[in-house]
Chains A and B, each alone.
Chain A
């Protein structure tokens, strides 16, 4: 059952399709309207990252850096040091990929509030192929001590996340995608950085935060996901319900700091976990969840994500299927983990 408090769209089968990058583009304009300290820097990818909406509205606060991702991070570090709130946008393979050391030394150790926006993340970038499909950015960012890491599940959440990190006074990473993806949250869906949301609960009357309860039986599982694949997770949960397997679905949009309490409670309630992310299974959300559970409540876990391979050209849908992140793959993973209980 969908958690009523999550205020998702009423008909999950008919979502509007909007890319999460549009949510960032709108969000950063909103942040810029609220506070003139907000500035945007881009490395020759202004339209495709959707930074161009900000550039059009606030040309005096937009900085074109050219194809120079190291300098992109350095300039932003200096600007943040001075008192600005800089967003730096590029493709995630280049930023935080290419400029990782500049981010580590000059943003993280320096501890200045630069907002790194990694666009075209995940395999769903599609035809561009492996060089442009960032599958390791979450791992790169979550190992830097002060970094906040947010992976929004749709365009509406991306907009909220953008505004939220603008004013958190911390180095932050926002991961967004290129392809149109289902919009299944609404303006009323709760969003707070660092707090996971229960999108589907086994008990329809559950409060927005899970209560620790008696395990709900052998045929139950918690799916913890982030990003647009969360939609597939919800569809998989619906189908599994018809087959007698009940799934909690948790939107863990903030990979760091992880909402450990909600995840531990979900593991206690169901005794099995599947993590879902469009990222290498090494080092991403799945790893973060396993780190928490192994210390607190060891639980059988399966990992949906890219299994230690690079991507390739294709359209988003066929790549998601080929790399084992479609609804069928999630269902299989749930059945497997339930059988391991």
Chain B
């Protein structure tokens, strides 16, 4: 039993996460391009963030004391867009504009186009430094010369595991450790896949926990699909005063759709675009099957119209 979230709330968030996955599949099909596996894998954590963890106001995205969520791996932004829409930042209907000309929902997120995305991102390895910059700036004397603004909000940085291969990530990790940026909590989506294959084949990251500990971080590992565990880790991070905290969230890429799970073919493709996956339905049936699985929780419930 968590001290930080009730059973009822967890149930509610699990249902929301499932809805989010369905919105995601529909928007990616409409867009015709984009990443699928990473966003599906992070649906539970993003749901927990927008509906439980973040201190934010969708009606006032510039609110100075809001928690900051810096998304470093900008390519999973579709799931963030979905949760932002569900939380009330913009109409659900607008999700259909993803990646289309004139949209606020750019293929990779841009700060000036959509209030609430906090920063422009996409090129990997650049989020942690920016998050550290915000945390450091907030700790300095505030604009009006009053006391430190550093205690007023927390900074979250979401990263992929693939971008742990980028040198800049470690420049920033070293800096955050040295400066004891305790208002900073980073989350690595440890799904083990990247565009060209499995991370441990492309460029092994393990021992990842030991690496961050060596850089003077407090490191926690959670099941990224267990909302209770994730919330507990986020709360533990708030109690750590001398170090930034890294939460390594073990996730299943493509979570919720059996033919997408653990399959790097789905890293950079939307449903309908993968032709060479022997486990998947033919392209024209992929979205339908993905939505069927999500609606029926993997076939556990029969939908009414079946």
Bound form: Cα–Cα A71–B120 in Å: 16
Contact residues in A for B141 (Cβ distance below 8 Å): 36, 60-61
- Chain A, Cβ-Cβ closest to B134: A78
Task: Flag whether B94 is at the interface (Cβ < 8 A).
Answer: no
Which residues of chain A are within 8 angstroms of B172 by Cβ–Cβ distance?
A: 71, 74-75
CB distance from B54 to the nearest CB of A (A): 17
CB-defined contacts of A66 to chain B, threshold 8 Å: 171, 174-175
A101 adjacent to B123 (CB under 8 Å): yes
B:166-189 near A, CB below 8 Å? 167-168, 171-172, 174-175
Residue B132 lies at the interface, judged by CB distance under 8 Å to chain A: yes
A287 at the interface (CB under 8 A from B): no
Q: Is B145 an interface residue (CB 8 A)?
A: yes
Q: Is B111 a contact of A78 with CB atoms below 8 Å?
A: no
Contact across chains for B137 and A70 when beta carbons are under 8 A apart: no
Q: Would you list which residues of chain A between 77 and 93 have a CB under 8 Å from chain B?
A: 77-84
Q: Determine whether the beta carbon of B111 is less than 8 Å from that of A110.
A: yes
What chain A residues lie within 8 Å of B120 (beta carbons)?
A: 105-106, 109-110
Asked whether any CB of chain B lies closer than 8 Å to the CB of A258, the reply is no
Main secondary structure of the interface of A (DSSP, over half): helix
Contact of B132 among A37, A39, A75, A112 (CB under 8 A): A75
In contact, B137 and A71 (Cβ under 8 angstroms): no
Q: Which residue of A lies closest to B122 (CB)?
A: A105
Chain B residues, Cβ within 8 Å of A79: 133-134, 136-137
Instruction: Kindly state whether residue B126 has any CB partner on chain A within 8 Å.
Output: yes
Closest-by-CB residue of A relative to B149 is A82
Let me know if B171 and A70 touch, CB within 8 A.
yes
CB distance from B116 to the nearest CB of A (A): 13
The yes or no answer to B300 lying at the interface (CB within 8 A) is no
Question: In the bound complex, what is the Cα–Cα distance between A3 and B145 (angstroms)?
Answer: 45
User: Contacts A60-B141, A66-B174, A105-B121 known; A81 to B129 CB distance under 8 Å?
Assistant: no
Q: Give the CA-CA distance A76 to B119 in the complex, in Å.
A: 13
Q: Is A63 an interface residue (CB 8 A)?
A: yes
Question: Do A82 and B123 form a contact, CB below 8 Å, given A70-B167, A71-B175?
Answer: no
Cβ contact within 8 Å between B129 and A71: yes
What total count of A-B pairs have CB within 8 Å?
106
User: How distant is B306 from chain A, measured CB to nearest CB, in Å?
Assistant: 46
Q: Is the pair B111, A68 in contact by a Cβ cutoff of 8 Å? A: no
Q: Is B257 an interface residue (CB 8 A)?
A: no
B109 to chain A, nearest CB (A): 10
Q: Does A45 contact B (CB under 8 A)?
A: no
Is B33 an interface residue, CB under 8 A from the partner? no
Choose one: B123, B143, B168; the contact of A36 (CB below 8 Å): B143
Q: From the candidates B128, B132, B143, name the one contacting A83 in the complex (CB within 8 A).
A: B143
Asked if B67 lies at the interface with its beta carbon under 8 angstroms from chain A, I say no
- CA gap between A184 and B297 in the complex, in Å: 76
Most buried by A among B129, B136, B168: B129
> Within 8 Å of chain B (Cβ to Cβ): is A210?
no
CB <8 Å contact, B110 and A109:
yes
A60, A68, A77: which contacts B133 (Cβ < 8 A)?
Answer: A77
Q: Do A102 and B126 touch (CB < 8 A)? A: yes
Contact yes or no, B175 A81, CB < 8 A: no
Q: Does A111 count as interface, using CB distance less than 8 angstroms?
A: yes
- The reply to whether A37 and B130 form a contact with Cβ atoms under 8 Å apart is no
List the 4 closest A-B pairs by CB distance, nearest first: A78-B133, A74-B129, A71-B171, A78-B130
Chain A residues at the B interface, C-beta cutoff of 8 Å: 36-37, 39, 60-61, 63, 65-66, 68, 70-71, 73-84, 101-102, 105-106, 109-112
**Can you name 22 A-B pairs with beta carbons within 8 Å?**
A36-B143, A37-B143, A39-B140, A61-B140, A61-B141, A66-B171, A71-B132, A71-B168, A74-B129, A74-B130, A75-B129, A75-B130, A75-B172, A78-B131, A78-B134, A79-B134, A79-B137, A101-B123, A105-B122, A106-B120, A106-B121, A109-B110
Residues of B within 8 A of A (CB): 70, 110-112, 118-123, 125-126, 128-138, 140-141, 143, 145, 167-168, 171-172, 174-175
New contact pairs (13) apart from A81-B111, A81-B118, CB-CB < 8 Å: A36-B143, A39-B140, A63-B136, A68-B175, A70-B171, A71-B132, A71-B168, A71-B175, A74-B129, A74-B133, A78-B70, A78-B129, A78-B131
